[in-house]
A and B are shown apart, each in its own frame.
Chain A
């Protein structure tokens, strides 16, 4: 295969500029997280640590008013539980919309379409008051249940289920499969890619949420990572910047590792979901 480098110089130049734009902030934060406060507060800003140290990481992880490991665990647990809830609640609903005939189908689906146009913040105050009345504030319940009826997930999964050939289900009907059996043994196994893509989306959306966990949790032990990073920033940025950067790197590393392992699946899944949204 012949490859004309010259013809693609422009493309490569652009891609390299974009890559530097994307990577530089991350590399810079990591590099400065290995420096002392004096080194960081210097002009010109040092990019390469003169003598790399790990004390910032030790300090940020052992500070009694910071619980980064616990916050990370809270975030991962809440996001995983939420994603499970969304899939368990929304996948069967999407199947009913995609394949089953029932009275009220159009009205219900129209209602869903209507609410997808509404910003989720409209439900913020009523759901907060409900959590308070149920004594769910500052518990995982508040982080898991209120968003579990995810309309976006229903739309995308319905779209995927509709693309599965009807004949496959008919074969199962002849074998005497029940509705649940058809869903469980025909539809679900054929939708693993769609379900994974959906799951990644839902997980990340929850993992990155700031406002809802900020207002519904109050104790240091129940905070999630985005909220915790805000606490870290507001209490340490002024006096010891590298500590804040170390916290940010600590929060980034697990995500980057997961991304490197599953990159192909994630990209493919998102592209697929994007097509569904077209």
Chain B
């Protein structure tokens, strides 16, 4: 009797002991996690969370860097922005540029990826070569292409002269400047999406192609009925990240055209730069930044609705 009691007590004792021990283990794990996270949380709080909240806050003030008084103005900055035709020109330009660049980049990247994943000699060499421009700085890209696109001495116009086309003022014509900047950007940036597509193509099981070939499918059918549908996740990734990054275009117009001719290549980030660092209007500039965030959020959601349906196969 006494013995059983002892056993019961000892059993309950271990039970009681185990609970705090496990709890201690869990606390220790949580403490370790927070120590691992601490540096990140500190930087993230200061430079991201605080900064975003501060941008929203500043956008409600008439905050000019050179003036000591900063009156609260409510939504006045947003009202001004909504009625500012220069802002709408910048939005329009940016949307046109982004649409052309993302479309062109995706098509070239996808076709290039299909070409370099064929089982042919030299495929690896082409892969390395085609990725190269992506590594260049926007400064180099801008300087190189400004000269290529020159009206008077540009090699592109020289090439076109063989087709009987008279010299084109690429960067000086309001209707041509965005396509010209877009071409430059496609040249610069198609390497990265190409590698994304290569990764995607390598993930498509070979037996799907074998089966389709047995059923008598030709190359085009294979591409449209197997490759394209199965690449959907990669296409989603490339277009979403492409829209996000090209919508923030700044360097190409800044270096190549200074936003011109007129406001022909004035983009949203260029406008933000202009307001905040040339006019020193931080309040209005913050309203621009917040508006940009809202526009991009809407774009991303729309894209996920369109391309994102049934991403898993």
Contact = CB atoms under 8 A, between A and B. Distances in A.
Interface of A: 3, 8, 11-12, 14-15, 18-19, 21-23, 25-26, 28-29, 32, 40-45, 47, 75, 88-90, 92-93, 95-96, 100-103, 105, 108, 111-112, 115, 117-130, 145-149, 151, 154, 178-180, 183, 204, 207-208, 210-211, 215, 225-230, 232-233, 237, 241, 244-245, 247-248, 251-252, 255-256, 259, 263, 266-267, 270-272, 274-275, 277-278
B136 to A, nearest CB: 6
Contacts of B165: none
Contacts of A255: 135-137
A204 B51 contact: no
Given A11-B120, A112-B44, 20 more contacts: A8-B118, A14-B115, A29-B144, A47-B155, A89-B40, A100-B30, A120-B248, A121-B289, A123-B47, A123-B55, A125-B276, A208-B137, A229-B137, A229-B140, A255-B137, A256-B132, A259-B135, A270-B192, A274-B234, A277-B241
Nearest to B39: A89
A41 to B, nearest CB: 6
Contact of B126 (A19, A251, A274): A19
B contact face: mostly helix, strand, loop, or mixed: helix
B128 to A, nearest CB: 5
A95 B36 contact: yes
B97 interface: no
B195 A229 contact: no
A234 to B, nearest CB: 8
For the complex of A and B, the 7 pairs showing the least CB-CB separation, nearest first, are A229-B139, A93-B40, A123-B51, A149-B43, A102-B33, A126-B54, A100-B33
A278 B137 contact: no
B10 interface: no
Given A129-B282, A149-B47, A245-B147, A41 B153 contact: yes
Interface stretch (B1-9, B221-229, B292-300): B292-300
B273 interface: yes
Given A233-B142, A248-B144, A255-B135, A125 B153 contact: no
28 contacts: A11-B118, A18-B115, A25-B144, A28-B155, A29-B143, A29-B144, A29-B147, A45-B154, A45-B155, A89-B40, A90-B40, A96-B33, A102-B30, A102-B33, A108-B37, A108-B41, A121-B272, A122-B289, A125-B58, A125-B276, A126-B58, A130-B51, A179-B36, A183-B36, A211-B273, A233-B146, A274-B192, A277-B241
B55 A126 contact: yes
Which of B34, B51, B127, B296 has the largest count of A CB atoms less than 10 A from its CB? B51
A88 B128 CA distance: 30
A91 to B, nearest CB: 9
Contacts, number: 279
A245 B143 contact: yes
A230 B250 CA distance: 12
Interface stretch (B13-21, B84-92, B197-205): B197-205
Contacts of B131: 266-267, 270
Contact of B48 (A88, A115, A232): A115
Contacts of A112: 44
B298 to A, nearest CB: 11
A101 B142 contact: no
A178 B32 CA distance: 9
A273 B200 CA distance: 11
B178 interface: no
Contacts of A129: 54, 282
Nearest to B114: A11
Interface in B262-291: 269, 272-273, 276-277, 282, 285-286, 289-290
Contacts of A108: 37, 41
A126 B296 CA distance: 20
A116 to B, nearest CB: 10
Contacts of B140: 229, 248, 251-252
Contacts of B110: none
Contact of A14 (B36, B51, B111): B111
B158 interface: yes
B52 A118 contact: yes
B100 interface: no
Which of B44, B146, B234, B251 has the largest count of A CB atoms less than 10 A from its CB? B44
A8 B133 contact: no
